[in-house]
Amino acid sequence: MATSLSPALERARAVLADFPVVDGHNDLPWALREQVAYDIDARDIAVDQSAHLHTDLARLRAGGVGAQFWSVYVRSDMAGDVAVSATLEQIDCVQQLIERYPDTLRRALTAADMETARAEGRIASLMGAEGGHSINNSLATLRALHALGVRYMTLTHNDNIAWADSATDDPGVGGLSPFGHEVVREMNRTGMLVDLSHVAATTMRAALDTSVAPVIFSHSSSRAVCDHPRNIPDDVLERLSANGGVAMATFVPKFVLQAAVDWTAAADDNLRAHGLHHLDTSPEAMKLHRAFEEAHPRPVATVSTVADHLDHMREVAGIDHVGIGGDYDGTAFLPEGLGDVSGYPNLIAELVDRGWSDADLAKLTWRNAVRVLGAAEDVARDEQSRRGPSNATLAQLDQQDQLDRLSD
C-alpha cells in the first residue's frame, strides 16, 4: 500500500466507499471448477489466492467491489442436458460460496437486495448465465435458472446457437430467429436481463428491437475505440439511452487494445500454422505460445486504455448507460494496474483525472447497474400481469418460419 495516495486515488476510494463497483462478469466459479473441481476448501477465498486466482475476498474489498455478477458460464461446446447440468453445478458453486462466506457475500436477487447488501457492507452476489446453450432450447429451463437466482443470460458465447448468432462465429440465423425473439420476450417476462456481450451486432440490434426491458452488456467495450467483434458498435451504444440499458466495459486487452488484438491474431495464426487450435492450452501449445511471446513481446494495455473506452462509451451512450465488467478469472492477461479485482480504484482514479465528477462515477460504478435490474423487475411484473409463461419451442417457431419463407 502506498504511504501517500494521490489525490485522484483518494477521491476514487471515497467514491467507492459510498458507491462500490457492480461488476458485470467474474468467472470465479469456472476457475474453481477447473482448478479444484469445486472443492472450495482447496481455494479458500478468505485467504490470499493471488497465486491461483484474480479474485479473493480481501482483494474484492480492496477493489471497492459492492456487487458481483458471478458468471455461471459453461463451455459453448457443451449442449443439451450436459450444458444444463453443468450450469446447475455452476449455480450450486455460487450458492456454496455465498453460504460459506456470509460475512462478506450476500445472496442478491433484486435491486433492493443489492441496496441492502450495500447498506450492510456486504458484497451482493448475483448470477449471470453465459450463453443460450445453458437453457437447451427450453423456456421452462430459462425459468428454472431464474428461479435458482440467475439474473442475466448472455444470448450466446463464442459459438452460434440455433436461435442466435455469436460475434465470433459466421452469420447463422442473421441475428435472432423467431424462437430467439421469443426467448427475449420470455426473459423480459421473467425478469432475466438480456445480456448482449458476445453476440453478433445483428443479434444486438434484433434483441434491442424486441426487448421491452433494459438490456446489458456484461463485459464489452467500444468497437469504435478498438475494432474487435466482442465490442459494441456505436449505433448500438446510441440505442441504449432509449432502451435504458447499460454497457459494462471490459478490461480484456485482446479486446480493448488494438495492438493486443493484432498480436493475438498473429499468435493464433502461429498456433494454427503448427496445426493446433488457437484456443489450445495443452503443454505443447503453451510452449509454442511462450516461444512466440519471447520473439514478439505482448503489447500491454493500461488503465488508460480502458478509460479511453469509457470516455467514448459515455460520449455515445450517455453517462446513465455505462458500467464495468472486468472478466476477472475468465481471461489470462489484464491491463497494468488492473491485474486483479483490487484494481478498480486505479481505473476510477484515472477517470477522476479525466474530469469525471463524483456523481458520474457513482452512476458508472453502482447506480446504473442497480437501476437496470430494478427496471427489469418492473417490466417483469407488468408483463406477468398480461401474459402467462411461454412454452413455445424451437421446432414450432423456427421450422414454421422456414416453411413460410420457402412458400414465399
Partner 1 sequence: MAELQEELITAAETGELDELSSPTEEAPEPPADDALTRARALLTHHPVADGYCGLPATLRTLPWYDLELGETSVDTDIPRLRDGGVGALLWTLRLPGAAAPEHPVTAVLEQLDLARHVVAEYPEGLRLARSASEACDARAYGRVAVLMGPAPASAAGDSLATLRALYALGVRLLTLSGTSWAGEAGLTRFGEEVVREMNRLGVLADLTGASARTARRVLEITKAPVILTHSGAHALNGHPDNVPDDLLAEVGANTGVCLVPCSAEHTGPALGDVADHLDHVRRVAGARAVGLAGTYDTGAVHPEGLADVSRYPYLLAELIERGWTETELALLTWGNVQRVLQGTEFAARAAALRRPPSTARIEPLDA
Site for partner 1 in 134-153 (CB under 8 A): 136, 138, 140-141, 143-144, 147-148
CA atoms within 13 A on the CB side of 66: 27
Shortest CA distance to 309 belongs to which of 367, 356, 251, 355? 251
Between 93 and 370, CB nearer to partner 1: 93
Site for partner 1 in 359-388 (CB under 8 A): 388
Active site residue 327: yes
Active site residue 219: yes
Active site residue 27: yes
Between 136 and 221, CB nearer to partner 1: 136
Site for partner 1 in 116-135 (CB under 8 A): none
User: What distance in Å separates the CA atoms of residue 251 and residue 338, rounded to the nearest whole number?
Assistant: 8
Residue choice 286, 389, 395, 400 for contact with partner 1 (CB under 8 A): 389
Active site residue 336: no
| 92 scored as a contact of partner 1 (CB under 8 A) | yes
Between 137 and 331, CB nearer to partner 1: 137
Shortest spacing between CB 81 and partner 1, in angstroms: 4
Between 88 and 300, CB nearer to partner 1: 88
Tracing cell 450466446 back to the chain, one arrives at: 156
Shortest spacing between CB 141 and partner 1, in angstroms: 5
Residue choice 14, 88, 276, 362 for contact with partner 1 (CB under 8 A): 88
Question: Long-range contacts: 138-145, Cβ < 8 Å, 24+?
Answer: 139/182, 139/183, 139/186, 139/389, 139/390, 139/391, 139/392, 140/389, 140/391, 141/84, 142/183, 142/186, 142/187, 142/190, 142/192, 143/186, 143/190, 143/389, 145/87, 145/91, 145/192
Under 8 Å between Cβ of 54 and 70: no
Between 125 and 331, CB nearer to partner 1: 125
DSSP 211: -
Strand partners, 125: 68, 107
Residues interacting with partner 1, by CB under 8 A? 37-39, 80-81, 84-85, 88-89, 91-93, 95-96, 136, 138, 140-141, 143-144, 147-148, 388-389, 391
The catalytic site residues sit at 25, 27, 130, 157, 198, 219, 327
